[in-house]
Each structure stands twice: as structure tokens, then as C-alpha cells.
Amino acid sequence: MGKRSRQRQKNQTPGRDRDSAGWGAGYADIVKENKLFEHYYKEQGLVPEGEFEQFMEAMREPLPATIRITGYKSHAKEILHCLKEKYFKDIQDLEIDGQKIEAPQALSWYPDEQAWHTNMSRKIIRKSPLLEKFHQFLVSETESGNISRQEAVSMIPPLLMKIEPHHKILDMCAAPGSKTAQLIEMLHADMDVPFPEGFVIANDVDNKRCYLLVHQAKRLNSPCIMVVNHDASCIPTLQIDSNGKKDILFYDRVLCDVPCSGDGTMRKNIDVWKKWTTSNSLHLHGLQLRIAVRGVEQLAVGGRMVYSTCSLNPVEDEAVIAALLEKSEGALELADSSADLPGLKWMPGVTSWKLMTKEGQWFSDWSVVPSSRHTQIRPTMFPPKDPEKLASMHLERCMRILPHHQNTGGFFVAVLVKKAPMPWNKRYPKSCQLAGLINKGRLLSHCKEKKLLFPGKIKNPLHCRPPPSKKMKLFGYKEDPFVFLTEDDPVFTTIQSFYDLSPDFPKLNVLTRTHEGKKRHLYMVSKELRNVLLNNSERMKVINTGVKVWSRNSDGEAFGCAFRLAQEGIYTLQPYIRSRIIQVSVEDIKVLLTQENPFLSKLEDDAHAQAKKLGMGSIVLKYIPNPNNLTEPQCPIQLCGWRGKTSIRAFVPRNERFHYLRMLGVEWHQPFQLLMFREIYITSHFLQL
């Protein structure tokens, strides 16, 4: 490894600066040219006449930096206010290294000005002293999960899903998780509801990428997300308890953002220029179709599935949709989403396309493909031949985003609505039904009636059943178990009395990650996710679920409870806590977040009086906005803290501290001990303060 690295350094171009390429840093030696790519897309006619040169010029330009404000509605509004009033104003009319810096512009089609783009490269943002504050803001807010650096076109699929808080959602190929984060935010549209009825099951086939997905999802601290690790093309069917009986879990929404050749990402993934060939699409088409088929199988009737790729190639786009519609025999319909994102420019899906091999040989119909190519080129890759059938599919309802129209990456998206069960689910009865018919000697008459074909004689009637499912193979790390607590678990005795939990607190939704020994952390999931977990432990590999609400603090036993509150789950848990709450003002929060262990007397009179009435131990610090004072934050703030003997302390991770201080108008740069604060846990020395 060392030799290879030294050799690579020796061969690098002298004076090459990694940052000089902006978004394409590290790829300066790659020529942004691919004759086969140009020839292929010219022939396909996807780009409007007279625009092909603009299209290619845009593909060679670096992708603009794009950010999306994440988090839940009231907090997102505060971040937006902070961005517009403080940072964007400072950027206006700046000129750096001879380049005029444009102030960030809101994406016209993204609701509520929650997404912005700018022509600034990474180098400029990182290196310019004039933009230092803005850079610190971006880094800090990204780490705390309040801002997501997400490509503009990547934001489109979740918006077209039309998520409601009660929806059960499957994200089939979810890593790295930016779209998953959008889905979670939409579930929590109402911050006053700690447990929405809906949930997101986010899946990825790559075990390592699943942990990246967990990192993204954890920033949103939701009890309604579960990360699982499966091949999306055969993701297991899950069961749930419904009115006392087992039922199949069908999803209200499915996001099918499939693996693709990625030629729409050439502006940021520069190596695609060198690696692009038509073989990539031909190899991926079958997998994409299998994943899409599995998605619609798991979709509830009346539900919506969004199929998307970051490829412009019809073989990966319209061909998959056409094959899916044909297989569905009318059970699926392409939805017209033309009015859903006003301001977004897109091209309608195409109804004719051709295939090309990497050698440059073209095929416009399956009938002319030589048999030697049949393993590589399949019939589903071509447009349907029947004009009537093709017209009924309404492929023009698909949306293709071209880079030069709004300075974005390339993208394809289609919205499918399920009108009826898939025909193969209706056509074949369940094995137990077949067994009953066999035993009654009515199998043949049933088959004739239903037009089912069973070739040859059935020697053993039970052979018509599907084979028993194989035991699931687990790859990657072995995860700790998910163990739900019972209502009478001894751990609740002190927690219940110490925090005076309300009677409707859902104890059954609390879980831990160990069968034996002391419970270190307690997590909460929604009732619906608990149902999924309890009924499918043998069917699926769960990587992570639940939001941490309590952590063991052995020294706390002396003060009445061994578990202190965790900041991650405070917004989920606080509605059920009826004691240990101190209502604080803006000035109190400033003190708590900028001083390590302020004395109780540093609080304003009202908060000081409340604190004096409480014994030592874990507390909730709660700020309630005053609608009559618009100079103060208009969103609720809840912090975990510790009431010591003579002092008080906020237990808040470093970047969250910066986040809340910015919302209060404080720009904090002092290195001081704050930078060394650990998110968790204090020594017994501090407990005694």
C-alpha cells in the first residue's frame, strides 16, 4: 500500500492543488470528453433541438453548491431566518479572486424556501476569510443535522411522494440517506405529535453503507425510523399484528431510487467521463426492474411508488417503467405530476429509443438482436411495439431533468400509483388454500376455473406449494438484540416516580440492546415500529432503530434515579414528563450554553426559584416562545440538564450548542472549555457541585 501511495505521489502533476478544481477536486487530470457518450445521446434525441451544445457545456461545468434546511418546521423557520438575515446579507456583492460571488438563491420549486444554491465552489467557501463565518456555520449546522448538503435533483423524489404523518414508507435503496432524512422530516410535520402513526423503513444492500445511513437518520432523533440490510430485489415481506391476527405489511409509499450508471452525475463524479459506456445500462436494467417489481409488490393498493435514477439513459428509465406497466396488466398507472413542483423545468418521458453496444452497434427492436447478444440485451429494454399499448402507458408523464435547464445534475423520476393487486398476486392462491383444495379433491376443477396450469401429473399434492423459505443469511456485523421492556420492568419504578411520567406514557415502546446485565441505555420506538420488530425478528436484519431517551448514570442512584435524560430523545420524551422541568428564558439559555457549570444564582429570578425547589439530578430546561416578542426565537427549545448542589449544567452536544446560540443571536468562537465538552456524562465531582 505504501509503495503504491508513494508512486502515485511521484506521478502527480507538479503544483497540482487539490482545491483548484472546486467540486471536481482530485480529478484535474480527467478530460471531460467522451465521444461515445455524445454520439449516444445525440442519436436518442432526449435533448431539445438546438440545445445539445448547451447540454454538453453544462455537463462539463462544476455542480453548484446546494444546501437544504432540515429539521422540523418551527426550527427550520428559525434557521432560514438566521441564514437570510445574517449570512446571506454578508455575502451579497462580494468579489473573491476576481470572481463575483452571487448571493445564494432559493430553489424556486422547493417549498417554503427550504433549499438554496450558490455558484460558490468548495475552495472559495473553505479558504476565503470573508466567508469564514459562513463556512463555520455550514460545517456546524451540517454536523448537528440542521442543514444537509444535498444535490438539488436528489430532493425531488420525496416531494413527489406526498407524505402524510400516518404513512408507512419503504425506502428501498436508501444510503447515504439524504432522501431518507426528507421522508422522516415529512412524517414529523407536526412537532406537537411525538409519535406519528407512520414510519420509515430504510434499506440498503451494502452493510457498511447502512451505518452511513444510520448516521444521517440519527441526526433527526426520530422514533419512527428503522434501518435494515437486505437486497432490495428480494427484500422480505413483513408481517404485523392487526386486530389480533397476523397480516402482511403493505406500504403506503415506496421510494425506489435504484442503483444506476450515474451519467447524470458527471458534474460532480468526474470519473464517469472516463468510465461511461452503454454496457453499464445494459447490465443494470435487469436489477433495476427486479427492484421496481419488488417495490410495487409491497405497495398498498392506492399507494404511490416513486422510481428514480441519476441516469439519463432510457434503458434505465422509460424501459424499466414500460416493462413494469406491461407486467402489471393495468394494476399500475403513471401519475401526472406536472403540477406538483411549480418552477421545476423538466422534459417529458420519451416513447421511442434505441440500444447501442459499447462497440457502437445500434438495435431498434428485439427481433433484430442476434442470439449471441440475448444474454446482454433483453426484450424489456425496448419500447412496446403495439402503438395503442404504448399510448395507454403515458410515458410522457415521466420527468427527465436536464442539467442546462436549471444548472443542476441530470435526473429521471416517475410516479406510479397502484390501482389493484399485482396480477401474479391475484392469480396464484396461497399454498394453504391449495392444500385445502387438494384434500377435498377439488384442485383440478379449481385450476380450470381460475385458468391455472399445472403441467403433468402431481404425484405428491403438497409439491404444488412453494418451497419453504430458506433461513436468512446474515452478513456484516452481528447486531446487538432489540429487547422490549415489559410494563412491570423494575427499571420503571424509579423512573416513573422521579420524572412523574404521565399515565399514557407508552412503556411498551421502550427497548434496550441487551438481554442480560445492567441496561446502559433505553430507547423508544413508535407503537407501529414495535409491531414490526416483534413480528419479524427472524425475517429481517435490523441495523438500528429507536431514539435514545435515557442513559444510565450510576451516581444518579444517590439522587433517586439511575437514569438521566438524553438530549437525543428529549423532544420525544418531554410531553410525558410532569416534573423535573425548569422553564427558562432566552438569557438563561445563553448562560447555560456558554458557561460550563454556572451557579444557580446566575439564572434569572423565575428559573432560579424553580431550580431551588428541585433536588439534585437530571432535569429538563424548557423554553416556550413568546408570540408577542418576535425578536426572540419562535420555536420551542428543550435541553437536558443536571441540577447540582449549587450549580446547574446543560448536557448538550457541542454543535447543538452552537446551533441554539445562533438562534439566540450569539456567534460563539471562543475556544475555551466549551470545545472540549463531551456530549455525555460528567464525573462524580460535577455531580456534587
Positions annotated as catalytic residues are 310
Instruction: For residues 491 and 493, give the distance between their C-alpha atoms in angstroms, rounded to a whole number.
Output: 6
- Give the Cα-Cα-Cα angle 610, 611, 614 (nearest 5 degrees): 100
Residue 177 is labelled as binding a ligand = yes
- Give the Cα-Cα-Cα angle 478, 482, 485 (nearest 5 degrees): 155
Q: Is the dihedral of CA 506, 509, 510, 516 positive or negative?
A: positive
Q: What is the DSSP letter of 225?
A: E
DSSP H helical segments within 413-547, as ranges?
A: 423-427, 431-439, 443-450, 491-499, 527-535
Q: What is the DSSP letter of 647?
A: B
In this structure, the number of other CB atoms found within 10 A of the CB of residue 255 comes to: 28
Residue 257 is labelled as binding a ligand = yes
Instruction: For residues 398 and 158, give the distance between their C-alpha atoms in angstroms, rounded to a whole number.
Output: 15
Q: How many residues does the chain have?
A: 689
In angstroms, what CA-CA distances link 355 with 43, 162, 281, 631? 10, 34, 10, 61
Spatial CA neighbour of 413 closest among 271, 260, 266:
260
Q: Which residues contact 674 (CB under 8 A, 6 or more apart)?
A: 594, 596, 654, 657, 668
Residue 3 is labelled as binding a ligand = no
Residue 488 is labelled as binding a ligand = no
In angstroms, what CA-CA distances link 243 with 197, 200, 252? 16, 22, 19
Residue 247 is labelled as binding a ligand = no
Residue 217 is labelled as binding a ligand = no
Residue 179 is labelled as binding a ligand = yes
Residue 340 is labelled as binding a ligand = no
Residue identified by cell 436484519 is 541
CB-side neighbour CA atoms (13 Å) of 8:
7
Q: Are 450 and 484 within 8 A, CB to CB?
A: no
How far does the chain reach from its first CA to its final CA, in angstroms? 52
For residue 23, the Cα-to-chain-centroid distance in whole angstroms is 23
For residue 574, the Cα-to-chain-centroid distance in whole angstroms is 25
In this structure, the number of other CB atoms found within 10 A of the CB of residue 275 comes to: 13
Q: Which residues contact 485 (CB under 8 A, 6 or more apart)?
A: 491, 492, 507, 508, 510, 511, 512, 522
Tally helices (H) and strands (E) across the chain.
Answer: 25, 29
Q: What share of the chain is helix, strand, coil (3-state, %, to 5)?
A: 40, 20, 40
In angstroms, what CA-CA distances link 434 with 441, 458, 647? 10, 13, 72
Instruction: For residues 200 and 529, give the distance between their C-alpha atoms in angstroms, rounded to a whole number.
Output: 9
Spatial CA neighbour of 318 closest among 344, 355, 343, 283:
355
In the beta sheet, which residues pair with residue 619? 641
Residue 173 is labelled as binding a ligand = yes
Spatial CA neighbour of 74 closest among 591, 636, 686:
636
Residue 649 identity (one-letter amino acid): R
Binding-site members for S-adenosyl-L-methionine are 173-179, 204, 231, 257
Binding-site members are 173-179, 204, 231, 257
